[in-house]
Structure 1
Amino acid sequence: MSAPEHPGEMSGQHRVVGAALPAAATTADLERTTRIGLERGPVVVPDGEPGPVRTPPARGLASTPSSTDLASPELYLNRELTYLSFCWRVLQEADDERVPLLERLKFVAIVSANLDEFFQKRIGGLKQQVGAGVHSVTADGRTPQQQIADCQAEIGELERHKIFILERVLDRLRPHVDLARFVDLDPTQQAQVRDYYLTNIFPLVTPQAVDPAHPFPFVSNLSLNLMVTLHYAGDGEPLLARVKVPVGGGIPRFLPVPALAGALSPRKRTFVDLADVMANNLDLLFPGMEMEAVALFRVTRNAIMEQDEGEAEDLLELIESELRERKFAPVVRLQVDRTMTPYLRGRLASELGLDEVSDVFEAIGMLGQRDLMELATLDLPELHDAPHAPAPPVDLLSDGSVFHAIRDQKNLLVQHPYESFAQSVERLLREAAEDPKVRAIKMTLYRTSRDSEVIRQLVRAARNGKQVAVVLELKARFDEEANIKWATRMERAGIHVTYGVVGLKTHCKVVLVVRQDYDGLRRYAHLGTGNYHAGTARQYTDLALFTCDDAIGRDLTELFNYLTTGYKPRRKYSRLLVAPKMLKQALLDKIEREIVHQESGGKGLIQWKLNALEDVDLVRALYRASQKGVQIDLIVRDTCRLRPGLPGVSDHIRVTSIVGRFLEHGRIYYFGNGGKPEYYLGSADAMQRNLEKRVEVLTPIDDLRLQNELRVYFDTQLADSRGAWDMQPDGSYVQRDGGVTARHCQQQLIDRTDKRLREATRLRRRKVMAVGRRGKRG
C-alpha cells in the first residue's frame, strides 16, 4: 500500500480550542472575543462553525527537543496529559455544527464523566504515590506532584472551555429542549413541580445537621449535595445542614415541567434541575426557619484501593473487601458552587481532609455535568444522529448452523458495531448451548451487560449438560460488584468459575467451543478486541475473528489450562501472541525486522490501530525504526507518549486520532514484512500494564480475504477528513478539514457494510431462484 504523505503543519489560521478565559467571563464575552493570548501561544476562540481546529500543545514542552538521544525526556509526552488532550478532541465534537444538537450535549456529558474517572483513577493513583513519598520521575521527567499540578492546570482550562460550549449548545437547544431555572418558571409550573417533588422525591430526602452533636456526615462518591446555612426566625445564630440530592435509583436529575395551556411551542420539552428544585423549596425540609445561603458541592473519591492478592486465601472475599473500603476511600477532589462562601469552602475542605488551595475546585456552571446524558438520550430523532441498526454479518447469513458456516469458511471477520453482536457472538453461544454435539465451552469474561444474554446462554449450556468454564476478571475497574454477582449466579448453575492468575488481570476476549464433528472433536473459537457486552457492542468499534483453525484452537486450549490453574510451566504457543510472557518481545522483534527490511533496500512499513501507546520501550523502538526510514502510521485514540514529526527522530511517523459517534476501541497491528504482510488483532494496547501485568492475546489474520477487509478498514480511517485529528510534534492535534460535506470514516464503514449486505442478499436470492428453476426442470 502506498502510504499517504506525512501531514505537516496545516497552513492558514486555525481555530484553536482551549482558550484560558477569565473565570467570570460570560457567553457574551466568548462571542465578542476574537483573539486571546496565552503563554502557550495565541488562541483563536471557536465560533462553532466547521473548519480547521487545533487543540493546545503539550504543557511544559519545548517545541523542538534539544537532543535526539532516545533517552531524553523531551522526546516523550506525559501519559496523563495526553489523555486530557483526548478529552479536548471529544469536547470539540460538542462544538461542531455538523453534529446534531443532542449528540453535542452527549459529548459534553462524556467529557464530564471522563474527567470524573480521571480524578478517581489517575489523580487518585498519583496522590497515593505522593503520600508514599515517591519521587521517581516518568519517562517525560515529571514527579507525581508535578503531574498532579500540570493535570489540574490543564483540567482548569478544559472545564472553562467546556462550560462555554455547554451554554452554546443549551442555547441552540432551547427551542426544542429547555433547561430552565425554577425561579423562572410560571407560578403554575412551580406549583406543579413542587407537588411532584413533594410526592415522589421528598420522602427520600434526609437533611443532616452539622454541629457538635452531629458530626460531619459521610459523603458518597460523586454524589450531589446542598450545603445550607440557616437560622431560626428571630434568632440570628447560623446553623449548618447538609442535604443529599437523591439522584439515581430511578430518580432523575432533571424533572419534566408540564407545558402551560396554550403554549406557543407545545412540542417544546422543558426540564428543571432537581438540585435547583430542592434549593428553592427548603421550607419543606426546614419549616419555620430562614435560609441564609445554599450552595452545591460534590466529592470525588480515590478508586485505587488494591490489596495484596498473594496474601489472600479467597480472591472474591478480597475484592468484596476492597469494594467496602473504596466506599470510604480518601477524597481527591471537592467541587463547590461558586456561590459558596470562603468560610464554608474552608470548612468542607477541613472536614474532608483536603488542601483548600490544591484540592478544592470552584465549579464553572452546573455541577455533575455527566448527568446531562439524561437529556442527551431524549427520544427526539430530529436532534440525534440517523439511527443505525447493526447489519447481520454477511458470512453468517445462512439459516443453518453457525458451526457449519465457520467450518466451511474456516475464518470469518466481524466488525462491530457495523455488524451485529447478537447475530454473531450471542448466536455462537446460543447455538453452542443447544447443540447436542457441543461438549464444552470455555471463555474469558471481563465486562458484560446488566441483562447479559452471554451469561444467560452459559447458564443454559451448563443446565444442558455441557462442560462450561469461565475465567471471570473480578478486578475490572468499576465492574467488580457486578462481576461478583455474575460469579455467584454462574457457580450456582454448575459453571466452573475461576478468577485467572494471581497478580495479573485477565483482559483477553476469547471463547473456545469444543464440538463433536463428523471427523472428530473440533475447536471453534472467537477472539475479539471488545468485551462480551451487548451495550458497548453497539457503541464501540471492535473487531472479532471466528475461526476453527487447529493451531489457534490448540493455543487457546493451552491458554485456558494456564488461566484455570495459574501454573506457570513453560507454555508454547504456535500462533497466538500472549502477554505477559511473549507479546511485548514479539512486537519489539517485529519492529526490528522492519528495520532490517528497510536497511536491505526494501520498504519497512508499520501500521497500528490502538487505544493507547504508552510503553516507553515500544515508543523507543518505533523511534529507532523511523530513524532508519521505516514508514509508520499510528491510529491512536487517546494516550500517546510518542511525538511524531521530530527531525532526526520521528520524521517518518504519523499519528492520527479518530473521534466520532462510536468510541474507537479495536486494536490491529500490521507489519509490512517485506511484502509478506502480517496482521494481528486482539485485546492488547501498547501499554506497559497490558504487556507486563495482564493476560492479553493477539491473533494472526492470515486469510487473504480477511486481510483485504482489514486493509480497507485501515485505509478508510487513514484517509478520513471528518473525524481524524493529526498529531503535531508539540503534542497538539489539528483536525482535518473536509468541510460540511465530508463523510466520517465510521459512516463510510456503515455504508460499506450495508452495501455488502445488499449484494450478499441479492446473491443468495439468485441462488435460491436458480435452485428452484433446476427443481422445476427436473
Structure 2
Amino acid sequence: MASEFNYHGKCYNRDLSWLLFNRRVIELANETTTPFLDRFRFLAIAANNLDEFYSVRVPSLQSQMEVTNDKIEKKSGLHYSKILKQLHKRNEKNFKIQYSYFKSLSEQLPVEGLGKITTYKELDDHQREKADQVFDQRILPFLISTTYENNYNLDYLKNKRMALAVKMKLKGKHAIRIVPVPLEIRRTIRLRVEDQTIYLRVEDLIRNNLNTLFDDGKVEDILTFRISRDLDASLDVDKDDNNHDTVKNLRHYLADRERGRITLLAVEDLPDVSHKFLLEFLKKFRIDEQALYRIPGPLDLTFLFPLLKSWEKEKPQLVYPDFQAQEWPDQRSMLQYLQEHDLLLQYPDDSFDQFLTFLREAIADPKTVAIKQTIYRVANNSKVIDLLKEAAQKGIEVTVMIELRARFDEANNLKVTGELEDAGCNIIFGKKYMKVHSKTCLVLTKDGADPEGYVQIGTGNYNESTAKGFVDLSLFSSRKDYVSDLASFFNYLEQPGANPPKYKVLAASPHRIEDMVIQNIQKVKEYYQRTGRGHVFLKVNSLTDVDVIAAIYDAASVGVPFRLIVRGACCLELGVCGPKENIVVSSIVGQFLEHSRIYAFYDEGTALWISSADLMTRNMDNRVELAAPVLDPQMHQVLEHIIAVYDQDDVDGFFMNKGGKYFKYESPKGHSAQQIFLKELAVHPQPKNQLQLAWDRLLNWWQQRKA
C-alpha cells in the first residue's frame, strides 16, 4: 500500500547516507565525552564497518551500473556511476578525518603511560637491533612470496588480506613479488626497551627487512596494500532440497565467495611509494583505479582491537565504566510472573541472562511440550544453543529455524546446525528467496488448534555477547493472541509452500509490516487534519523504503510532526514537503549500538510496536520479519518512557539538516539517552504528559534551530 506522493528524485542515496553514518562513528573519536581508549575503539569500529560496506554494498552498486548500463537510480535521481564517484570522494574525506584523529590520539599514548605506536625508521639503533631479532625469530619463518613475470593474478589473496608488493630487478629483468603478511602473527610487535614500551606493526618490520628475505636481486619499489573483495554472492536455500544438500551447497558457497573481484585497494601512503609503480601494479593485476585509496597511516585500524584489550586492563579508568545489568530475581519464577503480566526488557540495561532464565524455566516446566525458535546470529559457544540441545535431549519437541544466509555468520550457523541436529532438534532453513530475520521464541504448554504457552518477541539476535553492547527490546508474554499468532507463524515456516497466515495481533513481512506502518501514518494524518493533534515516532537502524518515505512526506505535507531516530542510512530528505513540514531526524551514536526498532503512532489511541524489521525495502518485501504491538498497559507506559528519553537526547544525537548533513547540538542540556538508561537500569514508567512535554521541548528547539 503506497502513498500517492511522488518520491522520485526526492530521496538520498542509501550508500552515500551510510558513509555519513560511518563518519559519525569516526567523529566519536573526537568527542570530549568519549573516554580516551574508546576513542581508538570507534576508529577501529569504523574500519570494520567499511570492510563490510566494500564487500557487499559497493559490489551491489557496481552490478547495478553494469546491468542497467548506468541508468539513473529513481530514488536519488543519480546515475550509478555518479553515486560510485561520490562514494569514493566521501570515503576519501572519511579516511582523512579518521587518520588525523588516529595520529592525534597516538601522540597521547605515552602521556597516558601506554607506550608508543611507532615506525621502524623512528627506532634508535638499539631498538632496531631488537626489532630485527624479533623479525628473524618470529616472522621470517612464516613468510612466503610469489614471483610474477607474467599471468598476474591475486586470486589466492582472500578478502581483507594484507600483503607487500615488491618490484625486483632479477638478472637484468624486472618482476613483482607478493609477500602476504602472515595470519599467524599478531599485527603489532610489543618491544620493551629500557623501561619504554613500543609497538611496531608487522608489515612495517617486514618492509624494512626484505633484504633478509630476498638475496637474489635488488628491491626497487615496495607497496604495502590490503584488499577488500566482492562477497555479494547470493545463496538460495530451497526448502524442497534435503538438509544434506543445503549444507553441502553452503560449504561450496563459502569457499567460492572469497574469490570475488577486488572492490577496495588500500595502499599505505608512505613517502617512498612510487606513483609509477602503483599505476603499474593496478594495470598488471587488473584493478580498477577507482578502487584505490592512498591511506595516510597504518592500514586496517582493526589492529587496535587486541591492543585495546590489553590497555584497558592496565587503565580501566580510560574506558566506559562497567555497569551491572538488571537480572531476574532468583526468588521469583519468570513463567509464573508471565501468567499474569507482560514483560518488556531493554538490553543491555536489562541482562540478556533473563532470556536464558526464560528458556531454563521452560525446559524445567513439566507442562512444556514444545519450544520453537528462530536463529539468525548467535555467539560462539552459545548458551542459547546449549539450552535448546538440553531441551531436545529431555524429550521436549524443539524446532529451530536457522537462517544459513546470515551474512558472515554462515560458518557459525552451519556449525550450530550440526550440533542441534545431533541433539535431536528439528531444523528448518526458511524460505527459498527470503531470509528469515525474525527474532522470536515460542514455548508451548498446549499444542493444537487452541495453543497455550509463552512467547518472546524481540528486535535483536539471541547472542549473549553482542547483547552486552547492542540496545534491543525483548517482549515476553503468555497472551493467547501472541501465542496463537506465533504458532501460525512457525507452521508457515515449517511448510515450504504455505501462504503467509492472517494474524490476530502481529504483523509480518513480506509486505504486511509496510502496510501496517503506512496505514498507521495515514490514520495519524487524518486525525491531525481533524484535531491538529497527533504525531509519529520511528526508531530504526535504516530508513530506505520509498513507500514508507512517501507516506511520511504525504503526512508531513499537512503538518503531521515526525520524530525519526535513524542510526544508519536515511534516504528521507528534509525540506521537500512544503511550509508545514515538521520532521526531526537524528542519529544516536554512542557507547552502545542502537539496534532496537520502535514504531509509535499517536492519534485518538496510541499504537506502539516493536519489530525485527528496519524500514528498508529488503525488510519490507524480501524478508520474513515480525512486528508486535505492545498491548499490556504497564508495558505501554514502559515503552512510552523509553521513547520520551530518546526524544530528549541531545548528547549522542547527530541531527540532520536540509542539506542531508549531520550536526551536533551546540549547547546540549546533557540528555544522553544511553547514560540515562544506565543510571536507571530498571525502567520506570513515566506519565504520558511527560512524553508530550518532552516532544514539545524538542519541537520548540527544532523550530528555533530552523529559524
Between the aligned partners of 1:419 and 1:508, the Cα distance in structure 2 is 21
Which residue number corresponds to residue 120 of structure 2?
182
Between the aligned partners of 1:195 and 1:436, the Cα distance in structure 2 is 65
> Is 1:364 aligned to residue 296 of structure 2?
yes
Q: Is the 8 A contact 1:123 1:332 kept in 2?
A: yes
> Is 1:244 aligned to residue 167 of structure 2?
no
Q: Is the 8 A contact 2:338 2:478 kept in 1?
A: yes
Post-superposition offset of 1:74: 4.5
Between the aligned partners of 1:197 and 1:457, the Cα distance in structure 2 is 46
- The one-letter amino acid paired with 2:191 is V
Deviations, residues 374-398 of structure 1 (Å, cap 9, x unaligned): 33333233453332334224xx324
Q: Is the 8 A contact 1:86 1:637 kept in 2?
A: yes
Q: Is the 8 A contact 1:417 1:541 kept in 2?
A: yes
Instruction: Tell me the SS of whatever aligns to 2:539.
Output: strand
Between the aligned partners of 2:567 and 2:525, the Cα distance in structure 1 is 26
Deviations, residues 122-179 of structure 1 (Å, cap 9, x unaligned): 1111111223244242311122222111111111111122211211111122323311
Write out aligned runs for 1:539-618 (5 A): 539-569=469-499, 571-618=501-548
Unaligned runs of 5+ in 1: 1-68, 758-778
Deviations, residues 23-50 of structure 1 (Å, cap 9, x unaligned): xxxxxxxxxxxxxxxxxxxxxxxxxxxx
Q: Is the 8 A contact 1:101 1:173 kept in 2?
A: no
Which of 321, 333, 344 aligns to 1:387? It is 321
Instruction: Tell me the SS of whatever aligns to 1:75.
Output: coil
> Is 1:99 aligned to residue 34 of structure 2?
yes
Deviations, residues 626-671 of structure 1 (Å, cap 9, x unaligned): 1122111111111111123446177111111111010110001101
> Is 1:402 aligned to residue 334 of structure 2?
yes
Between the aligned partners of 1:755 and 1:613, the Cα distance in structure 2 is 27
Which residue number corresponds to residue 306 of structure 2?
374
Which residue number corresponds to residue 447 of structure 1?
377
Which of 635, 638, 642 aligns to 2:565? It is 635
Between the aligned partners of 2:492 and 2:637, the Cα distance in structure 1 is 34
Deviations, residues 380-417 of structure 1 (Å, cap 9, x unaligned): 33453332334224xx32434321222242x0011101
- The one-letter amino acid paired with 2:6 is A
Between the aligned partners of 1:147 and 1:651, the Cα distance in structure 2 is 28
Between the aligned partners of 2:580 and 2:79, the Cα distance in structure 1 is 26
Q: Is the 8 A contact 2:236 2:432 kept in 1?
A: no
Post-superposition offset of 1:220: 1.4
Q: Is the 8 A contact 2:345 2:475 kept in 1?
A: yes
Instruction: Tell me the SS of whatever aligns to 1:544.
Output: strand
> Is 1:284 aligned to residue 217 of structure 2?
no
Between the aligned partners of 1:349 and 1:213, the Cα distance in structure 2 is 14
Between the aligned partners of 2:522 and 2:154, the Cα distance in structure 1 is 60
Instruction: Tell me the SS of whatever aligns to 1:574.
Output: coil
Between the aligned partners of 1:522 and 1:307, the Cα distance in structure 2 is 36
> Is 1:699 aligned to residue 667 of structure 2?
no
Between the aligned partners of 2:200 and 2:239, the Cα distance in structure 1 is 51
Which residue number corresponds to residue 110 of structure 1?
45
- The one-letter amino acid paired with 2:279 is G
Which residue number corresponds to residue 208 of structure 1?
146
> Is 1:346 aligned to residue 279 of structure 2?
yes
Which residue number corresponds to residue 57 of structure 2?
122
Post-superposition offset of 1:81: 1.0
Structure 1 pair 553/119, CA: closer, same or farther in 2 (3 Å)? same
Post-superposition offset of 1:214: 8.7
- The one-letter amino acid paired with 1:375 is L
> Is 1:325 aligned to residue 268 of structure 2?
no
Structure 1 pair 444/180, CA: closer, same or farther in 2 (3 Å)? same
Which residue number corresponds to residue 81 of structure 2?
145
Which of 489, 492, 496 aligns to 2:422? It is 492
Deviations, residues 455-477 of structure 1 (Å, cap 9, x unaligned): 11111111111111110001111
Which residue number corresponds to residue 458 of structure 1?
388
Deviations, residues 210-247 of structure 1 (Å, cap 9, x unaligned): 22499666221111101123346xx5644431111123
Structure 1 pair 230/614, CA: closer, same or farther in 2 (3 Å)? same
Post-superposition offset of 1:93: 0.6
Deviations, residues 54-112 of structure 1 (Å, cap 9, x unaligned): xxxxxxxxxxxxxxx94254421111111111112111111112212211111111111
Structure 1 pair 556/211, CA: closer, same or farther in 2 (3 Å)? same
Post-superposition offset of 1:183: 2.9
Q: Is the 8 A contact 1:312 1:318 kept in 2?
A: no
Between the aligned partners of 2:355 and 2:134, the Cα distance in structure 1 is 44
Unaligned runs of 5+ in 2: 686-707
Which of 208, 218, 221 aligns to 1:293? It is 221
Q: Which moved more, 1:179-188 or 1:94-103?
A: 179-188
Deviations, residues 572-612 of structure 1 (Å, cap 9, x unaligned): 10010111142111111111111111122251211111111
Structure 1 pair 622/581, CA: closer, same or farther in 2 (3 Å)? closer
Instruction: Tell me the SS of whatever aligns to 2:78.
Output: coil
- The one-letter amino acid paired with 1:328 is R
Between the aligned partners of 2:334 and 2:468, the Cα distance in structure 1 is 21
Q: Percent identity?
A: 28
Which residue number corresponds to residue 231 of structure 2?
303
Q: How many residues were matched structurally?
A: 670
Structure 1 pair 298/79, CA: closer, same or farther in 2 (3 Å)? same
Q: Is the 8 A contact 1:634 1:656 kept in 2?
A: yes
Post-superposition offset of 1:562: 0.7
Between the aligned partners of 2:200 and 2:501, the Cα distance in structure 1 is 60
- The one-letter amino acid paired with 2:339 is R
- The one-letter amino acid paired with 1:162 is Q
Between the aligned partners of 2:512 and 2:378, the Cα distance in structure 1 is 28
- The one-letter amino acid paired with 1:284 is T
Between the aligned partners of 2:227 and 2:137, the Cα distance in structure 1 is 28
Between the aligned partners of 2:258 and 2:508, the Cα distance in structure 1 is 35
- The one-letter amino acid paired with 1:137 is E
Between the aligned partners of 1:213 and 1:522, the Cα distance in structure 2 is 66
Normalised to the residue count of structure 1, the TM-score between the two structures is 0.82
Q: Is the 8 A contact 1:645 1:654 kept in 2?
A: no
Between the aligned partners of 1:629 and 1:331, the Cα distance in structure 2 is 47
Instruction: Tell me the SS of whatever aligns to 1:497.
Output: strand
Which residue number corresponds to residue 660 of structure 2?
731
Between the aligned partners of 2:131 and 2:396, the Cα distance in structure 1 is 55
Q: Is the 8 A contact 2:35 2:320 kept in 1?
A: no
Q: Which moved more, 1:203-212 or 1:662-671?
A: 203-212
Instruction: Tell me the SS of whatever aligns to 2:73.
Output: coil
Which residue number corresponds to residue 87 of structure 1?
22
Normalised to the residue count of structure 2, the TM-score between the two structures is 0.90
Between the aligned partners of 2:251 and 2:617, the Cα distance in structure 1 is 27
Q: Is the 8 A contact 2:451 2:483 kept in 1?
A: no
Structure 1 pair 638/755, CA: closer, same or farther in 2 (3 Å)? closer
Between the aligned partners of 1:300 and 1:104, the Cα distance in structure 2 is 25
Between the aligned partners of 2:494 and 2:635, the Cα distance in structure 1 is 31
Between the aligned partners of 1:202 and 1:429, the Cα distance in structure 2 is 51
Post-superposition offset of 1:545: 0.3
Between the aligned partners of 2:8 and 2:232, the Cα distance in structure 1 is 27
- The one-letter amino acid paired with 1:344 is F
Q: Is the 8 A contact 2:559 2:580 kept in 1?
A: no
Which residue number corresponds to residue 684 of structure 1?
613
Instruction: Tell me the SS of whatever aligns to 2:502.
Output: coil
Instruction: Tell me the SS of whatever aligns to 1:469.
Output: strand
Between the aligned partners of 1:591 and 1:107, the Cα distance in structure 2 is 36
Structure 1 pair 116/565, CA: closer, same or farther in 2 (3 Å)? same
Deviations, residues 162-207 of structure 1 (Å, cap 9, x unaligned): 2112111111223233111123234443343333343334332212
- The one-letter amino acid paired with 2:22 is C
